[in-house]
Amino acid sequence: MAIIEVSQLAKQYRIYRKNAGWMASVTGLFHRDYEVVRAVKDVGFRIERGEMVAFLGPNGAGKTTTLKLLSGLIYPTSGTATVLGYVPWQRSNAYRKRFSLVMGQKNQLWWDLPAQESFILHREIYDIPHDEFQRRLDELTDLLEVRKLVKQPVRELSLGERMRMELIASLLHSPEVLLLDEPTIGLDVVSQRKVQGFLRHYQAEQQMTVLLTSHYMKDVEALCRRAIIINEGEIKHDGPLAEIVDRFSSVKQIHLQFAGSEIPEDIERFGKVLERVPPRVKLEVPRQEIPKVLAALLDRYAIEDVGVQERPLEDAIAELFTQKTRPA
């Protein structure tokens, strides 16, 4: 049985649209115009035990809504889902003790108190034995290098330090499923790498099942082998991360170093110039034209070095995000 199993899951909201002006406000007291917004449309996927899966999509695609459904925070309009064999929106206490949700833009720690006070509260909420709690706390604070900061008020910590404290709070009860929503949002490069390294190590050691949303592709490439891409509420891709560029990118990049110190003036005829630092140039060329363009370049110019590369992952995903749903 899959740890997370979702079938035809949908969520829609009824939103009141108000026109500007005081007359519209008065009219709204007696007659209101509503619009139905479909945040999630018949989504379905399966995640096995121990997988760390990226859940990607543009803003408003339905990622956070899906995580809220899987954590039981909101009810679906239709469809089914089970996590660890539980229906999330039934909100059983047994289920709540076996998963954890971390949202990079939401705090679960008391702002004016040291993080250790919030950790003690979590110990009571999840009924963690004292010895087990202390062992886990020592392990997590050492791994995340924040042992000296747990007695400091949360409001005095940096954003990266607070995020690491949030991760500790979410893992104290040893959840089997971890739902991560933008865990490195707003963090500097050093903090991002520390969080990435910790998640990679801890997930492999504990064999947790992790569903990760992030707009930072370095997180995704560092942590996940599989990606589920959602756009306009629908699944567009579910498979290996490595297949995304092949499947959705229509171009490749050619890196050239010319023998002389100059770049040919007519280089634009061979493709879109992405970077020009004489004697080097980077071109973007349609995939199917790569052999023809390479042959023409090598025949026409003296070239010392040449390489063909795929587009960066974030570029391929951005291209996918901008594609509109085709009519049936």
State both tokens at 17.
């649209």
Q: Are 303 and 274 contained in the same domain?
A: yes
Q: Are 254 and 233 contained in the same domain?
A: no
Q: Could you tell me if residue 325 is inside a domain? A: no
Range of the domain at 59: 4-11+40-245
Q: Could you tell me if residue 32 is inside a domain? A: no
Which residue, of 198, 225, 245, is where some domain finishes?
Answer: 245
For residue 287, the Cα-to-chain-centroid distance in whole angstroms is: 28
Q: Are 173 and 269 contained in the same domain?
A: no
Asked whether the CA dihedral 208, 214, 219, 222 is positive or negative, the reply is: positive
Q: Are 162 and 270 contained in the same domain?
A: no
State the CATH number of the domain containing residue 297.
Answer: 3.30.70
For the sheet with 280-286, list strands across it. Answer: 272-277, 280-286, 251-258, 303-310
Residue by residue, pLDDT tens for the chain (328 residues) are 689 999 999 999 888 888 888 887 888 788 888 888 888 999 999 999 999 999 998 888 888 899 999 999 999 999 999 999 999 999 999 999 999 999 877 778 888 999 999 999 999 999 999 999 999 999 999 999 999 999 999 999 998 899 899 999 999 999 999 999 888 888 888 888 888 999 999 999 999 999 999 888 888 888 999 999 988 888 888 999 888 887 777 888 999 999 888 888 889 999 999 999 989 999 999 989 999 999 999 999 999 999 998 888 888 887 777 765 443 3
Q: Could you tell me if residue 68 is inside a domain? A: yes
Which residue, of 194, 217, 245, is where some domain finishes?
Answer: 245
Q: Are 237 and 255 contained in the same domain?
A: no
State the CATH number of the domain containing residue 229.
Answer: 3.40.50.300
Q: Are 216 and 69 contained in the same domain?
A: yes
Q: Could you tell me if residue 26 is inside a domain? A: no
Sequence-distant (≥ 6) Cβ neighbours of residue 207 within 8 angstroms: 49, 50
Q: Are 89 and 189 contained in the same domain?
A: yes
pLDDT at residue number 171: 95
3-state secondary structure the chain: CCCEEEEEEEEEEEEECCCCCHHHHHHHCCCCCEEEEEEEEEEEEEECCCCEEEEECCCCCCHHHHHHHHHCCCCCCEEEEEECCECHHHCCHHHHCCEEEEECCCCCCCCCCEHHHHHHHHHHHCCCCHHHHHHHHHHHHHHCCCHHHCCCEHHHCCHHHHHHHHHHHHHCCCCCEEEEECCCCCCCHHHHHHHHHHHHHHHHHHCCEEEEECCCHHHHHHHCCEEEEEECCEEEEEEECCHHHHHHCCEEEEEEEECCCCCCCCHHHHCEEEEEECCEEEEEEEHHHHHHHHHHHHHHCCEEEEEEEECCHHHHHHHHHCCCCCCC
pLDDT at residue number 323: 65
Q: Are 182 and 282 contained in the same domain?
A: no
Q: Are 85 and 130 contained in the same domain?
A: yes
Q: Could you tell me if residue 145 is inside a domain? A: yes
Q: Could you tell me if residue 318 is inside a domain? A: no
Q: Are 121 and 151 contained in the same domain?
A: yes
**Number of domains the chain is built from:** 2
Q: Could you tell me if residue 315 is inside a domain? A: no
Q: Could you tell me if residue 28 is inside a domain? A: no
Q: Are 99 and 214 contained in the same domain?
A: yes
Which residue, of 193, 211, 245, is where some domain finishes?
Answer: 245
Q: Are 103 and 183 contained in the same domain?
A: yes
